[in-house]
Structure 1
Amino acid sequence: MEMSRPLLVIAVLAHLVVMGAAKPPHIIFIVADDLGWNDVGWNNNQMFTPNLDKMASEGVILNSSYIQPVCTPSRNCFMTGYYPFHTGLQHGTIHPNHPGFMPSNFTTLPQKLKEIGYTTHMVGKWHLGFCNWKYTPTFRGFDSFMGFFSGAEDYNTHIRDNGYDFWFNQSVHHPPEGEYSANVISARAIEILDTVDPVNEQLYLYLPFQSVHAPLEVPERYESIYANISTKSRRTYCGMVSALDEAVGNITDALRDRGFMDNALIVFTTDNGGATWAGANNLPLRGGKTTLWEGGTRGAAFVYSDYLLQKTGYTNNEMIHAVDWFPTLLTLAGGNPDAGMDGVNQWPTVSSGAPSARSEFVYNIDEIAKNAAIRVGQYKLIEGSPGIFNGWTPLPPLADSALSNGPFPEHQLFDLQVDPTEHHDIASDHPDVVSKMLGRLSFHKATSVPANNPPADPASDPNNFGGNWSPGWC
């Protein structure tokens, strides 16, 4: 029998009295890689994601959660609370042979959490620079790190191009041969749980999965779930999503079995929209990964907790940006975010459905690509080309929509309240709105720093480090 709302409130309050209402929660931050809007069960019932769906439906689906168009900039947001155009990471991603990095003068979320007593662990993909050890996870706030430094690699061999990239803290690490990446990550996460006292310690566990970034690789048993899909790339990709779902389910089962869920918050988000050229799908949103369209920047996300959320089981449409997770989680943990960061505390919005603490955000400002975009209220302004994946890519077996680089007008305006799929450019109809938004964009441009986009450095060659992509060359 379902508990009535008054009885449920009483039960929760009683639990908090027992647990100690002021006790900081365990925080589990899960990041999927290149997960499309239409690639999760709560948006597409053809997807088999039962573990994610259950948490999303019983928690809070974040329907207006925004990230960056590609991997590195989004991870920058999670770690620093600052827009990439304020850290120099606004243009593309950090390639393994390029000496780019997240600047050391920015204090990371795990560093701040450690200052207030948290134990901090990371498992998975870093992608924030590794040419020098000081830019790597265990020097940026994590007590332990297992995973890879670069942006992509083979899911089983951990090789990218001519180098191996898998590490345990500061040592090259070789997981069991042939073990699939999602399972390696979940096994390590569970191993960490066995080292932490859920009652007397506070855990921050950052789990940026490799899944479901290319290359398209997954054990057959997951791909066979989608035997009705005739297109190989889409079938494999969907299997990768289900493998991710199972790995997350194994972790959440372990959290519950070991007593962490009595006082834990789980955040789940993608790092950018799906790569439509690699099997993903973002319908009904326009565009995909690498673009300023909603399909590249509006991410599948939810929060879940057994007890910490005051309002659950609904879809939250309030505006949230990736930079907001830093101050939101730090405040929840009992810390104080530094003044002046781009992120804002969204805990009232996330936990109880209060209006968003922001009415504006910047999608990106990229002086190299010569494009930018900003959201103010219901309106979105795009300056320059949004990218090369500009259509509404259909699900297979239909062919992918053709790539197009425009031509686009210098400025496009969309009313996302009435046109969330960006079909109708209304810039010519509302020159006053365009003018006001250009003023806001100019304000932000004045604070932008140059992109840190160095050329490839041959000193990075894995042959210089025993065949491994390794720090130590800048």
Structure 2
Amino acid sequence: MLVNLILLGAAKPPHIIFMVADDLGWNDVGWHNDQMFTPNLDNMARAGVILNSSYVQPVCTPSRNCYMTGYYPFHTGLQHAAIFPNQPEYLPARFTTLPQKLKQLNYTTHMVGKWHLGFCDWKYTPTYRGFDSFMGFYSGREDYYTHMIGNTRDWNGYDFRFNTSVHRPPDGEYSANVITARAIEILDSVDPVNDQLYLYLPFQSVHAPLQVPQQYEDMYANISTKARRTYCGMVSALDEAVGNITSALRDRGFMDNALIVFTSDNGGATNIAANNLPLRGSKTTLWEGGTRGAAFVYSDNLLNKTGYTNNELIHAVDWFPTFLTLAGGAPDAGMDGVNQWPTISSGAPSARSEFVYNIDDIDNNAAIRVGQYKLIEGSPGQFNGWTPLPPLTASDMATASFPQYQLFDIEVDPTEHNDIANDHPDVVSKLVNRLNFHKATMVPSNMQAADPASNPDNFGGNWTPGWC
């Protein structure tokens, strides 16, 4: 396999292109739902390896923490919710990031898109955490055209950067197109033969607010619900961006030695317009619909087995050690992630049989998977139903009450219709013990109150580091 050749010095480490879609629903891609128009993503997914059991965190910041550190969020203090721009929260500096590790292995590292791991001090921003360049925004959501952030919890401010400088893309340019143009610019600056590229593309798409050029929305004229129609158009605009970037990779010679990984950062927000059918729940919940990401891997020639759906367990923390091993490095002992290259390249059994969905000391809920069984402790979240395609008529069970523990056999019941906790008290006891084992290692959530020092009015109307 390639990794063995790399370790023997017989092959160059691959270019790694890591694409992250924001709030993309399980049922919002063409390989799961033929009502979606995503030909570029579909072609790569079906020609590569569709990852059917690739798990992420319930919301944005915790998943990005996993990608960047290889550690569960409950080991970094980022397990609860997403960071708001006025909160002095961040990925702790004691964690060495993936791009920092790759820099040590002579990779050139670039990021385009959404950071969402804190920015109250410069040392927590991308170009101080291992990226040679960064273009994008620090926070979690913003206008797709104006790059302004503001709601009832925040002050209004502008959030878009090129490295450390405030950057203003052309007026009226849609975010997905801005990201695409910058990605292609990076490809033009890197030698595909003599350089090794790590390109991290955490797209703004398809997070709220629901905004897209009209031609993409018009592709779904048969959908009567405005929000869903716009959202689906956003997915197709994302698909076109991915297609344009992939074409640029091929045209410039990168695809001879490149791995593309595509994943959502969490489940779709069904309360807004996304759909996770047949999975249960939404973004922010511990249900499969909130935590199982639509994902695939693709390469022209680095994968030994292609054109199939892989059902092996993979977690977001695994990308760090997998990429690092491919690059010729060695993951740190004690890291939560494991190298999954044999699994994704050849279909070998997963390197893990267990993972923790999350442990949230503020919401007082948690979930763990061991083998086929999933245990949920406490309330899984606010959106607990199976949200249908428009028109949206079913209840989301927001006021439902739940027992202290629920148990599901995910292999038999992936849609989580049947709580079998009462039928298998021995399994519940075993999984509670495993969950308690992990709880003993948890660090407290670093959730902080809003700080008036963050007010963009203090920085010329821009969300800017330097206030914590």
Shorter-chain TM-score range: over 0.9
2:34 pairs with 1:40:
no
2:85 pairs with 1:96:
yes
Give 1:3-402 correspondences, 5 Å limit.
21-161=10-150, 162-402=156-396
Contact 1:385–1:405 (8 Å) recurs in 2: no
Q: Which amino acid aligns with 2:415?
A: T
Contact 2:22–2:264 (8 Å) recurs in 1: yes
Deviation string for 1:328-362 (max 9, x for gaps)? 01001111111100000000000000000000000
Structure 1 counterpart SS, 2:189? coil
Q: Aligned pairs, how many?
A: 459
Deviation string for 1:165-224 (max 9, x for gaps)? 000001000000000000000000000000000000000000000000000000000000
CA distance in 2, matches of 1:155, 1:119: 28
Contact 1:387–1:405 (8 Å) recurs in 2: no
CA distance in 2, matches of 1:86, 1:405: 30
Aligned to 1:8: none
Deviation string for 1:29-66 (max 9, x for gaps)? 00000000000000000000000000000000000000
1:278 CA displacement = 1.3
Percent of residue pairs identical: 81
Structure 2 counterpart SS, 1:147? strand
Q: Which amino acid aligns with 1:322?
A: A
CA distance in 2, matches of 1:451, 1:397: 38
For structure 2, which runs of at least 5 residues remain unmatched after alignment?
Answer: 151-155
CA distance in 2, matches of 1:95, 1:178: 25
Q: Which amino acid aligns with 1:163?
A: G
TM-score, normalization: structure 1? Answer: 0.96
The list of structure 1 runs, each at least 4 consecutive aligned residues, that deviate by more than 6 angstroms after superposition, is none
CA distance in 1, matches of 2:54, 2:398: 26
Q: Which amino acid aligns with 1:35?
A: L
Contact 2:66–2:317 (8 Å) recurs in 1: yes
Q: Which amino acid aligns with 2:189?
A: T
CA distance in 2, matches of 1:209, 1:303: 17
- Cα distance change of structure 1 residues 160 and 277 upon mapping to structure 2, 3 Å threshold: same
CA distance in 1, matches of 2:88, 2:427: 41
For structure 1, which runs of at least 5 residues remain unmatched after alignment?
Answer: 1-11
Deviation string for 1:358-408 (max 9, x for gaps)? 000000000100000000000000000000100000000232523423210
CA distance in 1, matches of 2:64, 2:354: 20
TM-score, normalization: structure 2? Answer: 0.97
CA distance in 2, matches of 1:307, 1:103: 37
Structure 2 counterpart SS, 1:348? helix
CA distance in 1, matches of 2:392, 2:149: 31
Structure 1 counterpart SS, 2:215? helix
CA distance in 1, matches of 2:266, 2:395: 20
CA distance in 2, matches of 1:189, 1:309: 24
Q: Which amino acid aligns with 2:136?
A: G
Contact 1:281–1:394 (8 Å) recurs in 2: yes
CA distance in 1, matches of 2:328, 2:394: 48
Aligned to 2:153: none
CA distance in 1, matches of 2:33, 2:58: 22
2:401 pairs with 1:407:
yes
Contact 1:272–1:298 (8 Å) recurs in 2: yes
Contact 2:80–2:445 (8 Å) recurs in 1: yes
CA distance in 2, matches of 1:402, 1:437: 27
Aligned to 1:9: none
Q: Which amino acid aligns with 2:343?
A: T
